[in-house]
């Protein structure tokens, strides 16, 4: 039979607290089975999913956005198109975020390496950025 374990074990394997795991489930990101008595049971795929969620978080996605990235949850079977659309959009946003982080990294590095005392001094932000 397949390897199954409880919420405590999943917590141990992912570094997430059980409360967060339950919360993700409430948002539809995780779908444990239940054993008699009501306790949640997970398999290895839950570990993969949890890692995906953590990665998405680290990449700046909200949990709602992340859940949209896992559309198998919505009962669709041929979801390739929808998924691709969503993922493409997210990819664009991600690349914008990456650019911002890279810019900030440069600012920080410049600030650290140069004799001025504050980010304000380094004229690195004065690009043509109006609006968010």
Partner DNA sequence: TAAAAAGCTCAAGTGCGCTTGAGGTCAAGA
Partner DNA sequence: TCTTGACCTCAAGCGCACTTGAGCTTTTTA
Residues at the contact surface with DNA, assessed by CB under 7 A: 6-9, 11, 17-20, 22-23, 35-40, 57, 62-64
Least separation in angstroms between residue 21's CB and DNA is 8
* Interaction between residue 28 and a copy of itself (CB under 8 A): no
Q: Which residues pair with 40 in a beta bridge?
A: 34
Question: For a copy of itself, which residue of 27, 48, 62, 74 counts as binding (CB under 8 A)?
Answer: 48
Question: Quick one: 36 or 81, whose CB is closer to a copy of itself?
Answer: 81
Q: Could you tell me if 22 and 7 are in contact, meaning their C-beta atoms sit under 8 angstroms apart?
A: yes
Give dist(CA 15, CA 121) in Å, integer.
41
Task: Determine the 3-state secondary structure of 80 from DSSP.
Answer: helix
- The contacts of residue 80 (CB under 8 Å, 6+ apart) are none
Question: For a copy of itself, which residue of 23, 54, 63, 65 counts as binding (CB under 8 A)?
Answer: 54
- Residue 7 near which of a copy of itself, DNA, none (CB within 5-8 Å, type-dependent): DNA
- The contacts of residue 5 (CB under 8 Å, 6+ apart) are 41, 42, 43
Question: For a copy of itself, which residue of 2, 34, 58, 75 counts as binding (CB under 8 A)?
Answer: 58
């Amino acid at each position: 039979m397949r390897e199954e374990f409880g919420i405590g074990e999943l917590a141990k394997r992912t570094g997430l607290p059980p409360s967060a795991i339950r919360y993700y489930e409430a948002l539809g990101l995780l779908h444990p089975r239940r054993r008699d008595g009501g306790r949640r049971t997970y398999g290895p795929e839950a570990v993969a999913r949890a890692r995906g969620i953590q990665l998405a978080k680290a990449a700046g996605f909200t949990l709602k956005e992340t859940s949209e990235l896992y559309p198998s949850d919505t009962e669709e079977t041929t979801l390739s198109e929808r998924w691709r659309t969503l993922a493409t959009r997210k990819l664009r946003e991600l690349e914008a975020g990456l650019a911002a982080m890279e810019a900030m990294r440069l600012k920080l590095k410049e600030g650290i390496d140069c004799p001025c005392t504050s980010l304000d001094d380094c004229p690195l932000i004065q690009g043509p950025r109006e609006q968010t």
